[in-house]
Structure 1
Amino acid sequence: MVGTEHRARTRRARTAAALLTATGLFAAGCTGHGTPVPADDGRGHIRTAPPDTSEPSGKAHRPSVLAVKIDNVRAARPQTGLDSADVVYAEQVEGGLSRLMAVYATKLPKAVGPVRSARESDLELLRQFEDPTLAFSGAQGKLMPLINRAPLTARTPEQASGAYFRGTDKAIPHNLYLRPKRLVPDTPGAAALTTGFRYGPAPAGGTPDTSETVRYPAARFGFTWSQSRKRWLVSMDGAPDVTADGKRLAPATVVVQYVKVRKSAFHDFLGNNSPYTVTVGSGRAKVLRDGRAFDVHWKRAKAAEGTEFTTADGSPVNFAEGQVWVVFAKAS
C-alpha cells in the first residue's frame, strides 16, 4: 500500500531472516533451553526479559508504529487512550476472554492502558508493519525468546521503566499504563499503516445493518450504528464501552474477520492453553460501514503483507475514513 518496491523487498528479506531465527528459537524454548521468564501472572508480578538499555540499532531517529497490548476484562475498563488508535485488533485469549492490540501511527495520546501481556499470535499479526514497537507487560516464559528475535522492538516495563506507571484507579494488575511518547516520540504517519486497508467510497451493494454482535466463549462485542455520529458505537459484555474520560468508543469501520483459532504451544500460569489466532491465509469477513454490512473475502498471502478485502467480483473494499476495529472471530 505504501513505500517503494525496494523498501518492500528489503522488508520481506529481513522478515524471512527473522522467521528462520525465530523458528529455531521456538524449538529451543519448547525443550526447556534458553532462559524462561515468568509471565505477567495476573497478580501484578511484571517479570519479563532482562532490561535492555541499548538504543535499537538504526531506530533512534526512525519513527515506527506503536502497538500496545491492552487489557479488556471488566476490571480493566474503562480504558485510556484507545480512542486515539488508528487500528484496534480484538483477539480471543485464555478462558474465552478477549484482549486488544491498539496500533498508533498518526497521533499519540498522553497515556494508554491498562497494558497487559503479549501472545504468540501478535508476532504474526505485527509482521505486516516495518519495525513496529510493541509495548506489553510480559509474556509466557518460553515465548519471550520468540518476541526478542521477532522483527520488532519489544518494550516492557523492565526494558523501559520510565515509560510506564501504575495508576490509582484500578487494582493490580489492571492499572499499568504507558506514556507513548517516551517510547516513540514521533509518529510515522498514515503511510506506516501497511495493513492493506483502503479508504474511500463504500462499495456497491451491502445490506442495511445497524447492530452486530460478536461472541467469544466469555466475552461479547456489540456494535451499534449511530446515524448522527456516522460511527459504530462499541459495547462490551452488554455495556457501553467508553474511555476513562467518558468518550464512547466509536470506530468508523468495523471488520469481523473469520479466522482459524487453534491451540498454541503456550499456556498461562493456570495451565490454560493460549489460543493462536491465524491471520495469514484467506476466508470470509463482514465489513460494517455507513450503517450497512458487506460480506467480503479476506486474503493475506504472507506475514509480511497486509490483508486485502474484496467483494465477490474481486473488487477492493474501501473502509470509511477514521478508526478501524478488526475483531477476529472463529470461523465455523
Structure 2
Amino acid sequence: MRSMRSAVVAAVLASLVLAGCGGGDEKDGSDAKPESGEKATPQEPDTWPLTGLELADGKSADRKHPVLVAKIDNTSSSAPQVGLSKADLVVEELVEGGLTRLAVFFYSQLPKQVGPIRSMRASDIGIVSPVDGQMVTSGAAAQTIARLDQAGVKFHQEGSAGLARDSSRRAPYNVMADLAEVAKAAKVPSARPDDYLQWGTAAELPKGQPGTTITASFGSHTTNWAFEGGSYRNQNTYAADGDEFLADSVLVLKVKIGDAGYRDPAGNPVPETKLEGTGQAILFHKGRAIRATFEKDGLDGTILLSTKKGSIKVPAGKTWIELVPADRGEVTFN
C-alpha cells in the first residue's frame, strides 16, 4: 500500500510540473515591453541631395522623378527669368561669344513655369551626370545631341510634354517649361540621387578672408555678387522681382575650356567646359572666402574640395556654382 501511495503522489507531482512547463497560455518575447530606462534609437533625418538641408522628421527625399536641369538663357533678352527662386542649385557656364547660360537644378520643388528655356551644350554632361539629371531644353545642335546620347544623358526638348512657347515673349526667348508636367514623362524608380556636393556646416570651415563682394568674369559677361542680409545676391540678375536665387554659398571653380567642334549660327566657335580633373576653387560663405582646390574624377564624379590642411565641405544650403574659364576668366573679391 505504501508503494502504491508513493507511485500516485509521484504521478500527481509529475503532472503538475508538466502543466507548469506548458507554453499554451504564455506570450513570447515579441510582446515584451522595453525596460523603463530604454529608448528607441532616433533615426537620422534625410537630407536633400542638392542642398544638404534636412527634411522634417520621418520625411524622405525620395521622389518619383529625377533631378530636372533647366537650361535658362542668361542675357538681357531673357528678362524676366522665371523660377529661379524655387531652384535648389544653379551652375553658370560659358557659351559662345563670352556669354553665359544657366543650368538650373530642380528636385525638392517643381514649379509650373520656368524659363526662358534655351539649348544645351556638351558642357552639360559633366554638370548633370553626377546626379543623373535630365535636361530640360529647347533643343541642341546635332553634335551635342549625339554627345549626350553617347553619355546616357536624357533630355526633354521643345515638343515634349510640359514645354510650350509663350506668345507674350519674343522668339527664341519664349520657350517655357512646366516642370510638374515634364516630371510626369520622366518618371524613374523612386530613389534619392547622390549628393551633388559634400555637405557640411559653416563651423567646419577654415576662417578664410573677407569675401562680401564677388566679381566673376567669363569674357563678355560678368556676374556680380554682394553678401546682403545673410545671402549672396546677384547684383545683375535678369530674374523677375522676388524670384531671384538667393545663394547661401557661391562656389567658384576655375575650369579648362575646350572647343566643342562647331560654330553657332552667328559663326562663333562653341566652347566646351571640361568639368573634371583638378583646378583652383574659392568657396564664399557668410561673407568669407576660402581658397581651395577642387578635384572631380571624370564627368560623372563628385566635386571634392580641399585645402593644404585637408578636405572641406560646403555648408548645407542653396549654392550657385560659377564655372569660370581658367585661361580667360577672372575672379576678384573683397
Name the CA shift for 1:330/1:139 in 2 (closer, same or farther; >3 Å): same
Shift of 1:246: 3.1
Match of 1:194 in 2: 195
Structure 2: segments with no counterpart, 5+ residues: 1-62, 328-334
Match of 1:27 in 2: none
One-letter amino acid of the counterpart of residue 114, structure 1: P
Match of 2:108 in 1: 106
Residues 221-240 of structure 1 aligned to structure 2 (within 5 Å): 221-226=223-228, 228=229, 230-236=230-236
Shift of 1:153: 1.9
One-letter amino acid of the counterpart of residue 182, structure 2: L
Q: For 2:170 and 2:313, locate their aligned partners in 1 and report how far apart those are by CA, in whole Å.
A: 42
Shift of 1:200: 1.4
Q: Deviations over 1:23-53 (max 9, x none)?
A: xxxxxxxxxxxxxxxxxxxxxxxxxxxxxxx
Q: Deviations over 1:255-313 (max 9, x none)?
A: 11101112221221222111111110011111110111110110001222210112221
TM, length-normalised to structure 1? 0.74
Shift of 1:190: 10
One-letter amino acid of the counterpart of residue 294, structure 1: I
Please, which of 267, 287, 290 is the counterpart of residue 291 of structure 1? 287
Match of 2:173 in 1: 174
8 Å CA contact 2:279–2:293 kept in 1: the answer is: yes
Q: For 1:197 and 1:102, locate their aligned partners in 2 and report how far apart those are by CA, in whole Å.
A: 19
Q: Deviations over 1:104-126 (max 9, x none)?
A: 12111121100000111111222
Shift of 1:173: 0.8
Q: For 1:171 and 1:119, locate their aligned partners in 2 and report how far apart those are by CA, in whole Å.
A: 22
Match of 1:306 in 2: 302
Please, which of 296, 301, 320 is the counterpart of residue 325 of structure 1? 320
- Secondary structure class of the residue paired with 1:134: strand
Larger Rg: 1 or 2?
Answer: 2
Q: For 2:246 and 2:89, locate their aligned partners in 1 and report how far apart those are by CA, in whole Å.
A: 12
Residues 78-97 of structure 1 aligned to structure 2 (within 5 Å): 78-97=80-99
Name the CA shift for 1:276/1:306 in 2 (closer, same or farther; >3 Å): same
Q: For 1:83 and 1:189, locate their aligned partners in 2 and report how far apart those are by CA, in whole Å.
A: 25
Q: For 1:128 and 1:191, locate their aligned partners in 2 and report how far apart those are by CA, in whole Å.
A: 13
Shift of 1:216: 1.7
- Secondary structure class of the residue paired with 2:145: helix
Match of 1:254 in 2: 250
TM, length-normalised to structure 2? 0.73
Shift of 1:62: 4.5
Match of 2:76 in 1: 74
Give the count of matched residue pairs. Answer: 262
Shift of 1:188: 9.3
8 Å CA contact 1:65–1:193 kept in 2: the answer is: no
Structure 1: segments with no counterpart, 5+ residues: 1-60
Q: For 1:190 and 1:253, locate their aligned partners in 2 and report how far apart those are by CA, in whole Å.
A: 26
Identity within the alignment, %: 27
Shift of 1:318: 2.7
Match of 2:163 in 1: 164
Q: For 2:151 and 2:298, locate their aligned partners in 1 and report how far apart those are by CA, in whole Å.
A: 15
- Secondary structure class of the residue paired with 2:147: helix
